[in-house]
């Protein structure tokens, strides 16, 4: 390389001799590599922005099915011995559907834990686009259903589409309102005693309601009985926790007026009036009762201080003694 300098000493011209230094070549190679790496990184980022969301959309954007909480969450149903009851609920079915998926068919089914008939309307719905649909659930409760029956109502949904399915579920509760029915029934239509005798009457108390009940019995003519000098062992009786369609038996004891002198009565009838009522209904401020009447027939001889049965035995012994004496004389 030839160097030329001017006389002024500040302008110099270097002639290129055709050779490049190694440091220069190395510097150029590093620059080229860096540029290439940056270009590749930019290409990868561009591809990621274009293809990754699309791939994620294909993975995550599938149809979904959701059934809202049933409204209301709980219902009380009134039934009777001769009539059924029913309960209605509502819920909302929500379906999401991406454009790439065709029709989503939703099938709905209802049931109860107690086996009561359950109807969901509508039962089958096609969704061609995302949307919501309100459904109605109706449950029929049989007559005379006991209060111990608690029904869990369940609605299940299944959404099917090409390539897959989705499920949803919701539930509610049904309880039964108690009704009260009582039925007194005597084991005998009437009781016969002698004057001054004691009458014991057995009374079956049936619970015809649909839950446990306490049955109370009260005398309604206790004053009239007292005026006749009749003695009642108790003014009232209670039987507790009688199950549905079961009964308890009580025994009512009444002592007739004891005669002062030898007395004979011929079919004298005294009535015992009773008020039979539901104790559980009374607690709830309801009046559920029945009037019942016993008949006590007083018939025969009455001896002061003796029971009629004893009197019969005494007469029998006396007759035997008289017969024995007559036989001995002969």
- Smallest Cα–Cα separation from 254: which of 302, 198, 183, 172? 198
| Sequence-ordered list of residues with C-beta below 8 angstroms from that of 137, at least 6 positions apart, any chain | 70, 88, 89, 90, 91, 110, 118, 119, 120, 153, 155, 172
Q: CA 215 to CA 206: how far, in whole Å? A: 9
Asked if 176 and 145 touch (Cβ cutoff 8 Å), the reply is: yes
Q: Residue 197 class from Cβ within 10 Å (0-12 exposed, 13-18 middle, 19+ buried)? A: buried
Note the pLDDT of residue 148: 95
Q: Residue 117 class from Cβ within 10 Å (0-12 exposed, 13-18 middle, 19+ buried)? A: middle
Asked if 108 and 120 touch (Cβ cutoff 8 Å), the reply is: yes
> pTM above the 0.85 mark?
no
Q: How far is CA 84 from the centre of its chain?
A: 15
Note the pLDDT of residue 310: 56
Name the one residue in this structure whose structure tokens are 């029945």.
Answer: 290
Q: What is the pLDDT along the chain (330 residues), one digit of tens a residue?
A: 444 444 545 444 445 455 545 555 455 555 566 665 666 767 666 555 544 444 444 445 899 999 999 999 999 999 999 999 999 999 999 999 999 898 999 999 999 999 999 999 999 999 999 999 999 999 999 999 999 999 999 999 999 999 899 999 999 999 999 999 999 999 888 899 999 899 999 999 999 999 999 999 999 999 999 999 999 988 889 999 999 999 999 999 999 988 877 777 888 999 999 999 999 999 999 999 999 999 999 988 766 655 555 556 666 777 777 776 767 676
| Sequence-ordered list of residues with C-beta below 8 angstroms from that of 297, at least 6 positions apart, any chain | 190, 191, 192, 193, 267, 268, 269
| Sequence-ordered list of residues with C-beta below 8 angstroms from that of 322, at least 6 positions apart, any chain | none
Give percent helix, percent strand, percent coil of the chain, each to the nearest 5.
20, 45, 30
Note the pLDDT of residue 43: 67
């Amino acid at each position: 390389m030839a160097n030329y300098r001017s006389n002024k000493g500040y302008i110099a011209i270097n002639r290129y001799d055709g050779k490049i230094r190694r440091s220069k070549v190395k510097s150029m190679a590093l620059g080229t590599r860096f540029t290439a790496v940056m270009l590749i990184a930019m290409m990868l980022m561009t591809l990621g922005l274009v293809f990754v969301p699309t791939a994620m959309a294909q993975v995550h954007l599938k149809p979904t099915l959701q059934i809202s909480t049933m409204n209301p969450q709980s219902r009380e149903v009134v039934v009777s011995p001769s009539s059924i009851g029913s309960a209605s609920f509502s819920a909302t079915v929500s379906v999401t559907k991406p454009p790439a998926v065709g029709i989503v068919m939703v099938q709905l089914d209802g049931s109860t834990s107690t086996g009561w008939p359950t109807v969901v309307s509508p039962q089958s719905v096609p969704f061609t686009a995302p949307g919501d649909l309100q459904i109605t659930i109706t449950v029929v409760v049989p007559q005379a259903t006991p209060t111990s029956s608690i029904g869990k109502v369940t609605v299940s949904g299944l959404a099917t589409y090409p390539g897959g399915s989705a499920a949803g579920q919701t539930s509610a509760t049904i309880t039964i309102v108690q009704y009260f029915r009582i039925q007194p029934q005597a084991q005998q239509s009437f009781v016969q005693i002698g004057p001054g005798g004691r009458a014991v009457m057995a009374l079956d108390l049936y619970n015809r309601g649909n839950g446990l009940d306490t049955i109370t019995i009260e005398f309604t003519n206790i004053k009239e009985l007292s005026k006749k000098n009749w003695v009642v062992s108790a003014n009232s009786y209670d039987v507790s926790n009688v199950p549905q369609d079961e009964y308890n038996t009580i025994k009512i004891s009444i002592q007739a007026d004891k005669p002062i002198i030898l007395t004979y009565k011929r079919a004298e009838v005294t009535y015992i009036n009773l008020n039979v009522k539901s104790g559980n209904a009374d607690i709830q401020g309801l009046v559920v009762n029945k009037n019942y009447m016993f008949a006590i027939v007083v018939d025969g001889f009455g001896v002061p201080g003796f029971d009629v049965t004893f009197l019969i035995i005494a007469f029998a012994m006396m007759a035997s003694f008289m017969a024995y004496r007559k036989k001995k004389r002969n």
